[in-house]
Amino acid sequence: MKQSQRHQKILNLLNQHGFVSTEEMVAQFDVSPQTIRRDLNELAEQEKIIRHHGGAALPNSSTSNTAYSTRKVMQLTEKERIAAQVAARIPDGASLFIDIGTTTEAIARALLNHKDLRVVTNNLNVAMTLTEKDDFKVIIAGGEIRNRDGGIIGEATRDFIGQFRMDFGIIGISGIDMTGALLDFDYQEVRVAQSIIQHSRQVFLATDHTKFGRNAMVNLGNISQVDVLFTDQQPPEEIVRIMQQGQVECCIC
């Protein structure tokens, strides 16, 4: 395969997966690690990618998220696997927050076999899913409805969340920086997620591997603030080290 063809295929992989490790690219293209490193260095010099220790990612826009209709179908199989593992850790009779996001919506669907859950959510889609169960108590946070995805945001939402103390807080994220920073696109959404973290006994972060190394402009916090990360692939080495230092469990689904 010509170098130019391999470069394009690397970009296609990154566009599909967000972050791809050097080892994955070596296996994908059946070339030496040195060859892949040279490819990545050249693409980085052209500002087409961002190099990270152990792999690479695309230099995504930090100001706007992918459309909700697109996110609903992206990595759908991975999200369902993650959702099943999260649901398996939630006992019957538990109380939980469920945040905005397509992964958290998959988790809501996976919880329908549970009994007697008490749920506070700022996600209209989650609320509609969970009201199928007569034995669930579902409380919708007040605030401004974001038309594009049914999320409820704003200071009123944050204040509402602060009235509760729940067994579990289930959150998603738009990006995880290699420093461990949790990143998102909407300041008001981030403020609500911070309140969920603060008022949960255990925090579950559910995200697929495309979020590793992805950029967004609003800092929610650090991955060390969560108790368990549920994802579909091993995180990059930098993130693994931060999780180990913060004693964050990693569940590969």
pLDDT digits (tens, 9 = 90+) for 145-195: 998 889 999 999 999 999 999 999 999 999 999 999 999 988 889 999 999
What is the C-alpha separation between 10 and 135, in angstroms, rounded?
A: 49
pLDDT class for 112, splitting at 50, 70, 90?
A: very high
Q: What is the pTM of this model?
A: 0.75
Angle at alpha carbon of residue 125, lines to 124 and 131, rounded to 5°? 85
Ramachandran quadrant class, 116 (left: phi over 0; alpha: psi -120 to 50; beta: rest):
left
- pLDDT surpasses 60 at 70: no
Tell which residue, 76, 81, 124, has the closest CA to residue 100.
124
- Contact 103/87 with Cβ under 8 angstroms? no
pLDDT digits (tens, 9 = 90+) for 73-111: 567 889 999 999 999 999 999 999 999 999 999 999 999
Q: What does the angle CA 83 – CA 119 – CA 72 come to, to the nearest 5 degrees?
A: 40
- pLDDT above 70 covers a percentage of the chain that reads 92
